[in-house]
Amino acid sequence: MTAIEPAYPIIRPEPEPPPLRQPEDRGRVTVDGVEVAYEAHGTGTPTVLLLPTWSLVHSRIWKAQLPYLARHFRVLTFDGRGNGGSDRPAEPEAYRPDRFAADAIAVMDATATDRAVTVALSQGTLWALLLATAAPERVLGSCFVGPFFPVGPPYPGFMTARFDDPDPPAGRWAIYNRRRWQRDWRAFAQFWGELALPERHSSRQVESTVAYALDTEPETIASTIAWSLQNGAGTLAEAIEAGGQEALTALAGQVSCPVEVVCGDRDEITPLAWAQALARASDGELTVFEGYGHAPHARHPVRFNLLLRRFVERCASSNGDAAGSV
């Protein structure tokens, strides 16, 4: 049915409501002088580590998972460096994937967490793969949602956007640009939220994406891109094609723990083909959310939470641990 435009003045949007659940524990860890804020929820077993994604947003992206998972497991979240309660270093080097992986290990150490099932969304895929291969004794299983696994074309538009061009070519992707972000950060956040959530009735999640992006600065997020674009690459596609794709596939092949990959078939940020490639390379299960975009965990939380719970329980039992609340 055709979209209905409201005829009546919309009541002013409310700010993001407070979290439903207070953490059992919260704290900060420091890695290379960068402080990272974490929270621990629930008291069950095993521990589920909900990793940060691109620093455009922070750990509140997992708000639809937290209350449910915390009833059955212990859940760790932390804000990726660059947003939320964590530091916002300016230098691009601070945003290397192995730094985010080091932050994850530091959070696990600080919370006396031997092993966890990791859950990664989008760009978090990179640091989850590093964790699973560099520290396999710490990872019970890996779940990847809308995975950023750019092993080949066709590329979504942001991969071929010329981020540092002062005058990018006109078109839909001109907005993926340092200058444009400085001029109108909110417009980019709105664009990215709508791109991630093509499903109807997603206005709430889009609004949250904008709110989280406004918790940080465009200059900080530009640094996360700048790291990827070193060595003269003008676009993310150029950066990854210099041998990066084989390395990525090889890395996924080294993952030895159980893997679950979840992806929407309307995902315009990380296409389904990348999820299929990741599942193949890592010998993982793939679940496709038909009709869903880049945030199936947010837009269909019940189905996602049930799937994740079953996966966590499988990981725990295949490892000999009993899963569930203490």
Q: What is each CA distance from 216 to 3, 81, 83, in whole angstroms?
A: 33, 10, 5
Is 33 a binding residue for other proteins by CB under 8 A? The answer is no
The least distance separating other proteins from the CB of residue 25, rounded to whole angstroms, comes to 28
The least distance separating other proteins from the CB of residue 198, rounded to whole angstroms, comes to 14
Q: What is each CA distance from 73 to 76, 204, 257, 312, in whole angstroms?
A: 10, 27, 19, 9
Say if residues 284 and 276 touch (Cβ distance below 8 Å). Answer: no
Binding mask 207-246 for other proteins (x = CB under 8 A): x---------------------------------------
Exactly one of 4, 112, 170, 326 binds other proteins (CB under 8 A); which one? 4
If we measure between CA atoms, which residue out of 61, 56, 51, 58 comes closest to residue 296?
61
150-209 residues in contact with other proteins (CB under 8 A) are 200-201, 203-204, 207
What crossing angle do the helices spanning 185-196 and 203-213 adopt, rounded to 10°? 140
Is 15 a binding residue for other proteins by CB under 8 A? The answer is no
Say if residues 114 and 100 touch (Cβ distance below 8 Å). Answer: no
Of 17 and 33, which has the nearer Cβ to other proteins? 17
The least distance separating other proteins from the CB of residue 324, rounded to whole angstroms, comes to 23
Of 88 and 300, which has the nearer Cβ to other proteins? 300
The least distance separating other proteins from the CB of residue 287, rounded to whole angstroms, comes to 19
Is 112 a binding residue for other proteins by CB under 8 A? The answer is no
Burial class (CB in 10 A: 0-12, 13-18, 19+), 315: buried
Is 317 a binding residue for other proteins by CB under 8 A? The answer is no
Of 20 and 242, which has the nearer Cβ to other proteins? 20
Of 14 and 91, which has the nearer Cβ to other proteins? 14
Is 9 a binding residue for other proteins by CB under 8 A? The answer is yes
Is 10 a binding residue for other proteins by CB under 8 A? The answer is yes
Is 6 a binding residue for other proteins by CB under 8 A? The answer is yes
Calpha distance 205→52 (Å, rounded): 17
Say if residues 26 and 40 touch (Cβ distance below 8 Å). Answer: yes
Q: What is the DSSP string of 289-314?
A: ETT--S-HHHHSHHHHHHHHHHHHHH
Burial class (CB in 10 A: 0-12, 13-18, 19+), 306: exposed
Helix (H) / strand (E) element for 118: namely strand 116-121
| Size of residue set near other proteins by CB under 8 A | 16
For binding to other proteins (CB under 8 A), which residues are involved? 1, 3-11, 13, 200-201, 203-204, 207
